Chain A
Amino acid sequence: DVKVTQSSRYLVKRTGEKVFLECVQDMDHENMFWYRQDPGLGLRLIYFSYDVKMKEKGDIPEGYSVSREKKERFSLILESASTNQTSMYLCASSLRRGAGDTQYFGPGTRLTVL
Protein backbone atom coordinates (compact mmCIF):
# COMPACT_ATOMS: atom_id res chain seq x y z
CA ASP A 1 0.00 0.00 0.00
CA VAL A 2 1.10 3.53 -0.75
CA LYS A 3 1.84 5.46 2.37
CA VAL A 4 1.96 9.24 2.61
CA THR A 5 2.82 10.56 6.05
CA GLN A 6 2.75 14.08 7.41
CA SER A 7 4.90 15.17 10.31
CA SER A 8 2.12 16.51 12.53
CA ARG A 9 -1.65 16.02 12.78
CA TYR A 10 -2.18 19.20 14.77
CA LEU A 11 0.00 22.28 15.01
CA VAL A 12 -0.45 25.60 16.80
CA LYS A 13 1.82 28.50 15.90
CA ARG A 14 1.95 32.22 16.54
CA THR A 15 1.69 34.98 13.95
CA GLY A 16 5.06 35.70 12.38
CA GLU A 17 6.60 32.30 13.15
CA LYS A 18 8.28 30.27 10.43
CA VAL A 19 6.42 26.99 9.99
CA PHE A 20 7.58 23.77 8.35
CA LEU A 21 5.15 21.06 7.27
CA GLU A 22 6.79 17.83 6.21
CA CYS A 23 5.47 15.13 3.92
CA VAL A 24 7.05 11.78 3.10
CA GLN A 25 5.92 9.11 0.63
CA ASP A 26 7.32 5.61 0.45
CA MET A 27 6.40 4.52 -3.10
CA ASP A 28 9.03 6.26 -5.24
CA HIS A 29 6.41 8.60 -6.70
CA GLU A 30 7.58 11.37 -9.01
CA ASN A 31 4.85 13.89 -8.25
CA MET A 32 4.08 15.49 -4.91
CA PHE A 33 1.47 18.11 -4.05
CA TRP A 34 0.45 20.44 -1.24
CA TYR A 35 -3.18 21.50 -0.85
CA ARG A 36 -5.06 23.50 1.69
CA GLN A 37 -8.62 22.63 2.58
CA ASP A 38 -11.12 25.15 3.91
CA PRO A 39 -14.85 24.66 4.59
CA GLY A 40 -16.94 25.47 1.55
CA LEU A 41 -13.89 25.95 -0.68
CA GLY A 42 -12.81 22.35 -1.21
CA LEU A 43 -9.13 21.67 -1.86
CA ARG A 44 -6.91 24.26 -3.45
CA LEU A 45 -3.47 23.53 -4.84
CA ILE A 46 -0.62 25.50 -3.28
CA TYR A 47 2.49 23.99 -4.92
CA PHE A 48 3.49 20.82 -6.65
CA SER A 49 6.70 19.13 -7.68
CA TYR A 50 7.33 16.56 -10.41
CA ASP A 51 10.98 15.94 -9.66
CA VAL A 52 13.66 16.55 -7.07
CA LYS A 53 14.50 20.25 -6.78
CA MET A 54 11.65 21.09 -9.16
CA LYS A 55 8.59 23.03 -8.07
CA GLU A 56 5.68 24.78 -9.68
CA LYS A 57 3.10 27.17 -8.30
CA GLY A 58 -0.45 26.03 -7.93
CA ASP A 59 -3.52 28.20 -7.57
CA ILE A 60 -2.70 29.88 -4.25
CA PRO A 61 1.10 30.01 -3.72
CA GLU A 62 1.24 33.42 -2.03
CA GLY A 63 2.71 33.26 1.46
CA TYR A 64 4.13 29.76 0.94
CA SER A 65 7.29 28.17 -0.38
CA VAL A 66 8.33 24.54 -0.83
CA SER A 67 11.42 22.40 -0.84
CA ARG A 68 12.10 19.02 -2.41
CA GLU A 69 15.68 17.93 -1.78
CA LYS A 70 14.90 14.20 -1.89
CA LYS A 71 12.39 12.36 -4.02
CA GLU A 72 10.40 11.03 -1.07
CA ARG A 73 10.13 14.28 0.89
CA PHE A 74 8.24 17.48 0.10
CA SER A 75 8.17 20.33 2.59
CA LEU A 76 5.78 23.26 2.78
CA ILE A 77 7.14 26.41 4.41
CA LEU A 78 5.22 29.35 5.79
CA GLU A 79 7.89 32.04 6.01
CA SER A 80 5.86 34.23 8.36
CA ALA A 81 2.64 32.61 9.47
CA SER A 82 -0.52 34.68 9.46
CA THR A 83 -3.96 33.98 10.90
CA ASN A 84 -5.46 33.57 7.43
CA GLN A 85 -3.21 30.55 6.97
CA THR A 86 -5.13 28.66 9.63
CA SER A 87 -6.34 25.66 7.68
CA MET A 88 -6.07 21.93 7.03
CA TYR A 89 -3.03 21.11 4.89
CA LEU A 90 -2.99 17.95 2.81
CA CYS A 91 -0.04 16.42 1.03
CA ALA A 92 -0.44 14.01 -1.87
CA SER A 93 1.74 12.04 -4.27
CA SER A 94 1.25 10.30 -7.61
CA LEU A 95 3.41 7.92 -9.57
CA ARG A 96 4.31 9.76 -12.72
CA ARG A 97 3.62 12.81 -14.82
CA GLY A 98 0.97 11.30 -17.07
CA ALA A 99 -2.65 12.27 -16.64
CA GLY A 100 -4.97 9.85 -14.93
CA ASP A 101 -2.62 8.72 -12.18
CA THR A 102 -4.23 8.45 -8.78
CA GLN A 103 -3.14 10.91 -6.14
CA TYR A 104 -2.63 9.38 -2.70
CA PHE A 105 -3.19 11.62 0.29
CA GLY A 106 -1.68 11.90 3.71
CA PRO A 107 -3.83 12.29 6.85
CA GLY A 108 -3.49 16.08 6.90
CA THR A 109 -2.09 18.67 9.30
CA ARG A 110 -4.55 21.00 10.99
CA LEU A 111 -2.65 24.24 11.50
CA THR A 112 -3.90 26.99 13.79
CA VAL A 113 -2.12 30.35 13.71
CA LEU A 114 -2.86 32.55 16.72
Chain B
Amino acid sequence: AQSVTQLGSHVSVSEGALVLLRCNYSSSVPPYLFWYVQYPNQGLQLLLKYTSAATLVKGINGFEAEFKKSETSFHLTKPSAHMRDAAEYFCAVILYGGSQGNLIFGKGTKLSVKP
Protein backbone atom coordinates (compact mmCIF):
# COMPACT_ATOMS: atom_id res chain seq x y z
CA ALA B 1 0.00 0.00 0.00
CA GLN B 2 1.12 3.52 -0.65
CA SER B 3 1.23 6.24 1.95
CA VAL B 4 2.59 9.71 2.50
CA THR B 5 4.11 11.17 5.66
CA GLN B 6 4.63 14.88 6.12
CA LEU B 7 7.00 15.65 8.97
CA GLY B 8 5.83 18.59 11.00
CA SER B 9 2.24 19.78 11.05
CA HIS B 10 3.43 23.37 11.57
CA VAL B 11 6.55 25.07 10.27
CA SER B 12 7.46 28.68 10.99
CA VAL B 13 10.13 30.65 9.15
CA SER B 14 11.17 34.27 8.91
CA GLU B 15 10.63 36.24 5.74
CA GLY B 16 13.65 35.69 3.48
CA ALA B 17 14.62 32.40 5.11
CA LEU B 18 14.77 29.01 3.46
CA VAL B 19 11.56 27.03 3.37
CA LEU B 20 11.87 23.24 3.73
CA LEU B 21 8.75 21.09 3.98
CA ARG B 22 9.36 17.38 4.31
CA CYS B 23 7.53 14.55 2.60
CA ASN B 24 8.32 10.84 2.63
CA TYR B 25 6.38 8.25 0.74
CA SER B 26 6.11 4.50 0.73
CA SER B 27 5.41 2.78 -2.54
CA SER B 28 6.14 -0.60 -4.03
CA VAL B 29 6.31 0.87 -7.53
CA PRO B 30 7.75 4.12 -8.87
CA PRO B 31 5.31 6.80 -7.79
CA TYR B 32 3.90 9.98 -9.18
CA LEU B 33 4.26 12.67 -6.52
CA PHE B 34 2.55 16.01 -6.09
CA TRP B 35 2.70 19.10 -3.92
CA TYR B 36 -0.44 21.19 -3.52
CA VAL B 37 -0.90 24.48 -1.70
CA GLN B 38 -4.08 25.69 0.01
CA TYR B 39 -4.45 29.36 0.89
CA PRO B 40 -6.98 30.25 3.60
CA ASN B 41 -10.58 29.55 2.59
CA GLN B 42 -9.60 28.30 -0.84
CA GLY B 43 -9.31 25.00 -2.67
CA LEU B 44 -6.05 23.23 -3.46
CA GLN B 45 -3.73 24.48 -6.17
CA LEU B 46 -1.03 22.37 -7.80
CA LEU B 47 2.49 23.60 -7.01
CA LEU B 48 4.44 20.91 -8.87
CA LYS B 49 4.48 17.23 -9.72
CA TYR B 50 7.01 14.50 -10.36
CA THR B 51 6.21 12.02 -13.12
CA SER B 52 9.52 10.15 -13.53
CA ALA B 53 11.25 12.69 -15.75
CA ALA B 54 13.81 15.00 -14.10
CA THR B 55 14.31 14.35 -10.39
CA LEU B 56 14.45 18.08 -9.61
CA VAL B 57 11.05 19.55 -10.31
CA LYS B 58 10.41 23.27 -10.51
CA GLY B 59 6.98 24.58 -9.69
CA ILE B 60 5.13 27.84 -9.39
CA ASN B 61 5.95 30.71 -7.03
CA GLY B 62 9.65 29.76 -6.81
CA PHE B 63 9.11 26.35 -5.21
CA GLU B 64 10.94 23.21 -6.20
CA ALA B 65 11.16 19.62 -5.01
CA GLU B 66 13.68 16.85 -5.47
CA PHE B 67 12.75 13.21 -5.85
CA LYS B 68 15.22 11.00 -3.98
CA LYS B 69 14.47 7.36 -4.52
CA SER B 70 17.10 6.14 -2.05
CA GLU B 71 15.53 8.22 0.71
CA THR B 72 11.92 7.81 -0.51
CA SER B 73 11.57 11.56 -0.14
CA PHE B 74 10.10 14.44 -2.08
CA HIS B 75 10.87 17.50 0.04
CA LEU B 76 9.61 20.94 -1.01
CA THR B 77 11.96 23.92 -0.85
CA LYS B 78 12.03 27.61 -1.58
CA PRO B 79 15.21 29.67 -1.11
CA SER B 80 13.55 32.77 0.30
CA ALA B 81 10.14 32.84 1.99
CA HIS B 82 7.59 35.58 1.32
CA MET B 83 4.67 36.54 3.51
CA ARG B 84 2.33 35.39 0.74
CA ASP B 85 3.71 31.82 1.09
CA ALA B 86 1.81 31.41 4.36
CA ALA B 87 -0.56 28.55 3.60
CA GLU B 88 -1.07 24.84 4.11
CA TYR B 89 0.92 22.48 1.93
CA PHE B 90 -0.03 18.94 1.03
CA CYS B 91 2.14 16.20 -0.41
CA ALA B 92 0.34 13.46 -2.35
CA VAL B 93 1.16 10.22 -4.14
CA ILE B 94 -0.75 8.33 -6.80
CA LEU B 95 -2.19 4.97 -5.82
CA TYR B 96 -1.87 2.41 -8.55
CA GLY B 97 -4.08 -0.54 -9.26
CA GLY B 98 -7.78 -0.69 -9.94
CA SER B 99 -8.59 2.65 -8.37
CA GLN B 100 -7.95 4.79 -11.45
CA GLY B 101 -4.92 6.50 -10.02
CA ASN B 102 -6.32 8.08 -6.87
CA LEU B 103 -4.30 10.55 -4.87
CA ILE B 104 -3.24 9.66 -1.34
CA PHE B 105 -2.62 12.85 0.66
CA GLY B 106 -0.39 13.57 3.60
CA LYS B 107 -1.95 15.31 6.59
CA GLY B 108 -0.58 18.70 5.57
CA THR B 109 1.97 21.18 6.88
CA LYS B 110 0.91 24.68 7.81
CA LEU B 111 3.59 27.23 6.95
CA SER B 112 3.77 30.49 8.87
CA VAL B 113 6.03 33.33 7.71
CA LYS B 114 7.14 35.90 10.27
CA PRO B 115 8.01 39.44 9.22
Contacts and interface: CB of A to CB of B under 8 A. Distances in A.
B14 to A, nearest CB: 25
Bin the interface of chain A by size: 20 to 34
B94 interface: yes
A107 B43 contact: yes
A4 B44 CA distance: 11
B107 interface: yes
B75 to A, nearest CB: 17
A38 to B, nearest CB: 10
Contacts of A4: 43
A43 interface: yes
Interface in B72-115: 90, 94, 96, 99-103, 105-108
A33 B103 CA distance: 10
B102 A97 contact: no
A108 B41 CA distance: 8
A42 B90 contact: yes
A54 to B, nearest CB: 10
A90 B105 contact: no
B45 interface: yes
A77 to B, nearest CB: 20
Interface of A: 4, 9, 31, 33, 40-45, 48, 50, 56, 58, 90, 92, 94, 97-108
15 contacts: A33-B102, A40-B9, A42-B105, A43-B90, A48-B100, A90-B44, A97-B100, A99-B32, A100-B101, A101-B101, A102-B34, A102-B49, A103-B103, A105-B45, A108-B41
Given A40-B107, A98-B101, 20 more contacts: A4-B43, A9-B41, A40-B9, A42-B90, A42-B106, A42-B107, A43-B44, A43-B90, A56-B99, A58-B102, A97-B101, A99-B94, A99-B96, A99-B101, A100-B101, A103-B46, A103-B103, A104-B46, A105-B45, A107-B41
Interface of B: 9, 32, 34, 36, 41-46, 49, 51, 90, 94, 96, 99-103, 105-108
